[in-house]
């Protein structure tokens, strides 16, 4: 990596050249798909690590998980009642059985002499007994002084092998139970715990650093704003989104509009062993949009700057001098959100070994017209109509500075570059707010159309 002085000198030179040639160089924009494939080319799948099952929720499995045992582990009673020995035809209504003891859930498997044993749900089925009759279907004919049942009569016929949960009926030993790329959720924990697995191989969580630029930004919520200042909303948003996306935010800083502080931030991100660095702001065409030049001066390769997407067209992607991918998100909050959702998140999926995302196809509720030859991402609501059919609508207030409509959104609509007039009823791509977050569905149509 070049020294800070060298970087500064190169940066100044680049700035002067750029200003002389063209004070406002236009962005050479590429299309969404091309940009995304450049990003995906630069990211590698991260290594697997053994994770205790108790900590695995929210991690992505790195390998197929196989069961190490049978589930249920032994034949057991599915009902409170009586285990009986019957022949292949079962036992007829009215049959009488002498009861020779009780087997409760948790009792070790035992042998009994006789043809019937009282059982509770989950009890081992006593050896030699082959059906279970629920307690409601018997009439107790005799008890001893302690209340123990001694004899029963069947109210209904009892077929052989009823109400027995067989060993391995749910999961057989060595059966593949979860696949690589699957997100570990509470139901996965239930199965892993039921099988007594202590560790699973998960893909290491991607380590992400966030550098916010802009001398107008105030990080401390309690600090009063001075004239011209705004609060840093992108930083906390991205930190939260990173965690929700199955990654970890390992470093976050705000650096004003000073290239030196930005470079110091990059060095800190490197020290924090970031797998990807994100920045916000300073990638447009303004006087203070220093990121492209300072990145180049630091030895990074800018792989694209400018994508035909709205919001978010100044998006920049580079490979830092140490090979770490760098995604420069625009400063406008919704542009930053779109850049993260549709470029950083696909990169995170690739790092996590997850397949490419596929959107839902949902009919547009109202016509949508777009003139610009760009891909659009729209703050949207997905809803179910009275018949349960899905529909989607773009929310009012699509400007990229408007945060409030994002809170009303439960999904993103994606409109491809080539589309112009989208009639009502036409199918559009619908994505969740995050790649691990399926789109919400609104069941109150009136709320949507308000
Ligand atoms: P920039 O991309 O730096 O030109 O910023 C575009 C707009 O986004 C400006 O109005 C900035 O004040 C605003 N902005 C930049 N960074 C942030 C941030 N971290 N939080 C909220 N707004 C921001
Ligand atoms: Mg700025």
> Can you give the residue ranges of every domain in the chain?
4-46+205-352, 48-70+176-203, 76-165, 360-431
Q: What is the pLDDT of residues 195-223, one digit of tens each?
A: 999 999 999 999 999 999 999 999 999 99
Q: Who surrounds ion ligand 2 at CB < 5 A?
A: 214, 281-282, 331
Q: How confident is the model at residue 20 (pLDDT cuts 50, 70, 90)?
A: very low
Q: What is the pLDDT of residues 49-73, one digit of tens each?
A: 999 999 999 999 999 999 999 999 9
pLDDT of residue 422: 93
Pocket test for ligand 1, best of 281, 400, 401 (most atoms within 8 A of CB): 281
Q: What is the pLDDT of residues 296-317, one digit of tens each?
A: 999 999 999 999 999 999 999 9
Average pLDDT value for residue range 326-344: 98
Classified as helix, coil or strand, 338 is helix
243-281 in b/e burial notation, b at 16+ Cβ within 10 A? Answer: eebbbebbbbbbbbbebeebbebbebbbeeebbbbbbbb
- Please state which CATH class domain 48-70+176-203 belongs to: alpha beta
The β-bridge relationship of strands 375-384 and 309-310 is parallel
Neighbours of 385 (CB within 10 A): 13
Q: What does the angle CA 222 – CA 400 – CA 337 come to, to the nearest 5 degrees? A: 70
User: Which atom of ligand 1 has the smallest separation from the CA of 282?
Assistant: 3
Residues with CB under 6 A from ligand 1: 212, 214, 216-217, 230, 232-235, 280-282, 284, 286, 330-333
Centroid of ligand 2 to alpha carbon of 346 (angstroms): 25
Centroid of ligand 1 to alpha carbon of 307 (angstroms): 18
Can you give the pTM of this predicted structure? 0.92
Distances (CA, A) of 149 to 80, 105, 111, 135: 13, 17, 18, 11
Nearest CA to ligand 1 atom 10: 332
Whether the per-residue pLDDT at 47 is higher than 70: the answer is yes
Average pLDDT value for residue range 263-270: 98
CATH classification for the domain delimited by 76-165, as one of 2.170.190.11, 1.25.10.10, 3.20.20.70, 3.60.40.10: 2.170.190.11
Contact 10, 297 (CB under 8 A): yes
Distances (CA, A) of 98 to 112, 116, 149, 236, 442: 12, 6, 9, 70, 59
The β-bridge relationship of strands 325-329 and 276-280 is parallel
303-313 in b/e burial notation, b at 16+ Cβ within 10 A? Answer: bbbbbbbbbbb
Average model confidence (pLDDT) across the chain: 94
Instruction: Note the helical H segments in 70-218.
Output: 186-194
Q: How confident is the model at residue 444 (pLDDT cuts 50, 70, 90)?
A: confident
CATH 2.40.340.10 fits domain 360-431: yes
Nearest CA to ligand 1 atom 14: 331
Distances (CA, A) of 254 to 126, 217, 238, 259, 319: 68, 8, 13, 12, 21
Whether the per-residue pLDDT at 114 is higher than 60: the answer is yes
Closest C-alpha among 102, 300, 275, 69 to residue 192:
69
Centroid of ligand 2 to alpha carbon of 329 (angstroms): 11
Distance CA 309, CA 342 (A): 10
Centroid of ligand 1 to alpha carbon of 394 (angstroms): 24
Q: Which burial class, exposed, middle or buried, applies to 318 when counting CB atoms under 10 A from its CB (0-12, 13-18, 19+)?
A: buried
pLDDT of residue 118: 98
Q: What is the pLDDT of residues 128-187, one digit of tens each?
A: 999 999 999 999 999 999 999 999 999 999 999 999 999 999 999 999 999 999 999 999
Neighbours of 171 (CB within 10 A): 20
CATH 3.30.70.270 fits domain 4-46+205-352: no
pLDDT of residue 445: 58
């Amino acid at each position: 990596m070049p020294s800070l002085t060298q970087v500064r000198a190169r940066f100044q030179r680049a700035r002067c050249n750029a200003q002389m040639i063209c004070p406002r160089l236009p962005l050479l924009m590429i299309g969404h798909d091309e940009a995304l494939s450049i990003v995906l080319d630069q990211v590698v799948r991260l290594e697997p690590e053994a994770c205790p099952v108790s900590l695995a929720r929210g991690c992505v499995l790195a390998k197929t998980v196989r069961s190490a045992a049978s589930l249920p582990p032994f034949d057991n009673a599915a009902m409170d009642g009586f285990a009986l020995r019957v022949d292949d035809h079962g036992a007829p209504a009215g049959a009488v059985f002498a009861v020779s003891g009780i087997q409760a859930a948790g009792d070790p498997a035992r042998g009994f002499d006789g043809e019937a044993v009282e059982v509770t749900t989950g009890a081992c089925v006593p050896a030699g007994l082959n059906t279970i009759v629920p307690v409601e279907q018997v009439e107790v004919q005799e008890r001893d002084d302690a209340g123990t049942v001694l004899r029963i009569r069947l109210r209904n016929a009892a077929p052989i092998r009823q109400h027995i949960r067989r060993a391995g009926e749910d999961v057989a030993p060595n059966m593949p139970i979860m696949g690589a790329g699957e997100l570990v959720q509470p139901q996965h924990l239930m199965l892993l715990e039921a099988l007594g697995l202590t560790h699973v191989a998960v893909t290491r969580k991607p380590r992400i650093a966030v550098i916010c630029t802009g001398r107008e930004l105030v990080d401390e919520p309690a600090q009063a704003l001075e004239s011209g200042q705004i609060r840093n909303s992108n930083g906390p948003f991205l930190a939260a989104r990173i965690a929700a996306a199955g990654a970890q935010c390992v470093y976050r800083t705000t650096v004003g509009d000073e290239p030196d502080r930005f470079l110091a931030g990059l060095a800190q991100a490197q020290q924090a062993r970031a797998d990807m660095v994100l920045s916000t702001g300073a990638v447009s065409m303004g006087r203070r949009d220093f990121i492209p030049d300072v990145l180049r001066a630091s030895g990074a390769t800018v792989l694209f700057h400018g994508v035909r997407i709205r919001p978010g067209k100044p998006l920049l992607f580079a490979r830092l001098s140490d090979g770490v991918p760098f995604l420069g998100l625009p400063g406008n909050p919704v542009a930053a959100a779109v850049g993260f959702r549709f470029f950083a998140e696909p990169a995170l999926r690739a790092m996590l070994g997850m397949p490419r995302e596929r959107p839902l196809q949902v009919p547009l509720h109202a016509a949508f017209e777009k003139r610009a030859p760009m891909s659009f991402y729209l703050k949207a609501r997905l809803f179910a109509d009275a018949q349960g059919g899905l529909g989607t609508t773009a929310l009012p207030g699509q400007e990229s500075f408007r945060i409030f409509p994002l809170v009303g959104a439960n999904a993103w609509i994606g409109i491809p570059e080539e589309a112009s007039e989208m009639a009502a009823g036409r199918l559009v791509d619908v994505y969740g707010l995050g790649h691990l977050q399926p789109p919400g569905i609104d069941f109150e149509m009136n709320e949507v159309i308000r």
